[in-house]
Amino acid sequence: MQNLVKQVLQHNIRAIAKAISLIENGIETRKKETLIDTLHPHCGHGIIWGITGPPGAGKSTLLNRLVEQLRHDNKKVAVIAVDPSSPFTGGAILSDRLRMQKHATDDSVFIRSMASRGHLGGVAGATGDAIKIFDAAGYDHIIIETIGVGQTEIEVMELSDIVLLVLVPGLGDEIQALKAGVMEIGDIFIINKKDIDGADRLRTEVEYVLNLKNGGENRSRHPVIMTSATLNEGIDEAYSVIQSYYQILVENGELAIKRKERIEKELKYIAVTKIKESMDKFLNIDDKLDRWIEEVFQKKVSPYKLLNKKISEFLQEIDWK
């Protein structure tokens, strides 16, 4: 494991791929903890972007363009396509969904897909670990693409420093989507496919909703940009808006706040998981459950009383102060 970590830190592509596969395939807890803990001091340099929006909105086409700009600035980029609905692909590249063939041979662009099925801690956990691997390995930008806006996607987007929400005209249900709370997760709103009808109207609607959210008086602080990813229009603007938005987050301290909120979530998650694990082990719930059910059913004991007793026994056992 230490050797693998060393190679990851040296930006060895094969080691990075291997580390991510280990996470994806669910290695032993102890090994995973060593991996993540050893990488931790080397994390924090990479900028994490999320890009989300309805299927077919042009997220990948747009991302492809933005990656071109990042490469032009000589940045190393990792892209993770998260697909909560599909099974593991064993790390296969979703080149179709990603439309990133152009970058597929570039060593400084690492493209990876992740799926959630059967993953302990959900896809958000696996994605979070993958982000740490890329970050420690020295990628300057780590970009996560998800489709749609279900709960899992929101959790994944919460791993980002900046979320780009890509919207397109002509879906018919734009406004419903905006009302459904989707707007909450976006930092920067991109109206893509500005070359088709309805883009201007959608922009007005989006700005209206954003200003409402802002109390209806001041202009919202969230930029709304129009692009045509296929025609390569508005990309320069999008790129510079993203950069200045990030700069503001750094300067006004919001980035640190966001990152601390992520650490808080992570710590709570680890705490709950670990407490649950040790409780399960001590209480041996699965084995005793039938007996407890019977006792509660027979009214020999009430549920709270039973579990409070078990838990205080547990706390005594571990000498809880």
Residues lying near Mg ion in the complex (CB under 5 A) are found at: 59-60, 97
**Interaction partner, residue 25 (Mg ion, ligand GTP, none; CB < 5-8 Å by kind):** none
**Interaction partner, residue 152 (Mg ion, ligand GTP, none; CB < 5-8 Å by kind):** none
In the three-class reduction of DSSP (H, G, I as helix; E, B as strand; rest coil), residue 196 is classed as coil
**Interaction partner, residue 230 (Mg ion, ligand GTP, none; CB < 5-8 Å by kind):** ligand GTP
109-115 sheet: strands from edge to edge: 109-115, 77-83, 141-146, 47-52, 162-167, 188-191, 224-226
Q: What's the full length of the chain, in residues?
A: 321
Could you tell me which of 185, 115, 124, 171 has the C-alpha nearest to residue 152? 124
**Interaction partner, residue 127 (ligand GTP, Mg ion, none; CB < 5-8 Å by kind):** none
Instruction: In angstroms, give the least distance from the CB of 94 to Mg ion.
Output: 8
How many Cβ atoms from other residues are within 10 Å of residue 147's Cβ?
A: 19
Residues that bind ligand GTP (CB under 6 A): 55-61, 97, 99, 147, 192-193, 195-196, 228-230
Instruction: In angstroms, give the least distance from the CB of 132 to ligand GTP.
Output: 24
Residue nearest to ligand GTP (CB): 58
Closer residue to ligand GTP in complex, CB, 52/108: 52
**Interaction partner, residue 163 (ligand GTP, Mg ion, none; CB < 5-8 Å by kind):** none
Runs of H (alpha helix) within the chain: 2-9, 13-24, 29-39, 59-72, 95-98, 122-136, 151-157, 174-179, 199-213, 235-251, 254-279, 285-297, 303-317
Closer residue to ligand GTP in complex, CB, 64/108: 64
Instruction: In angstroms, give the least distance from the CB of 54 to Mg ion.
Output: 11
Give me the residues paired with residue 295 across strands.
Answer: none
User: What would the two tokens of residue 272 be?
Assistant: 């709950």
**Interaction partner, residue 178 (Mg ion, ligand GTP, none; CB < 5-8 Å by kind):** none
**Interaction partner, residue 143 (Mg ion, ligand GTP, none; CB < 5-8 Å by kind):** none
Closer residue to ligand GTP in complex, CB, 140/195: 195
Asked if 95 contacts 101 with a C-beta cutoff of 8 angstroms, the reply is: yes
Could you tell me which of 146, 186, 140, 149 has the C-alpha nearest to residue 48? 140
CA distance 216 to 32: 48
Instruction: In angstroms, give the least distance from the CB of 57 to ligand GTP.
Output: 4
Residue nearest to Mg ion (CB): 60
Instruction: In angstroms, give the least distance from the CB of 176 to ligand GTP.
Output: 18
In the three-class reduction of DSSP (H, G, I as helix; E, B as strand; rest coil), residue 24 is classed as helix
CA distance 146 to 18: 23
Instruction: In angstroms, give the least distance from the CB of 258 to ligand GTP.
Output: 25
Element (H, E) at 49: strand 47-52
Closer residue to ligand GTP in complex, CB, 44/170: 170
Closer residue to ligand GTP in complex, CB, 108/227: 227
Closer residue to Mg ion in complex, CB, 96/251: 96
**Interaction partner, residue 141 (ligand GTP, Mg ion, none; CB < 5-8 Å by kind):** none
SS3 string of 11-23?
CCHHHHHHHHHHH
Closer residue to ligand GTP in complex, CB, 55/216: 55
Instruction: In angstroms, give the least distance from the CB of 78 to Mg ion.
Output: 16
Instruction: In angstroms, give the least distance from the CB of 84 to ligand GTP.
Output: 12
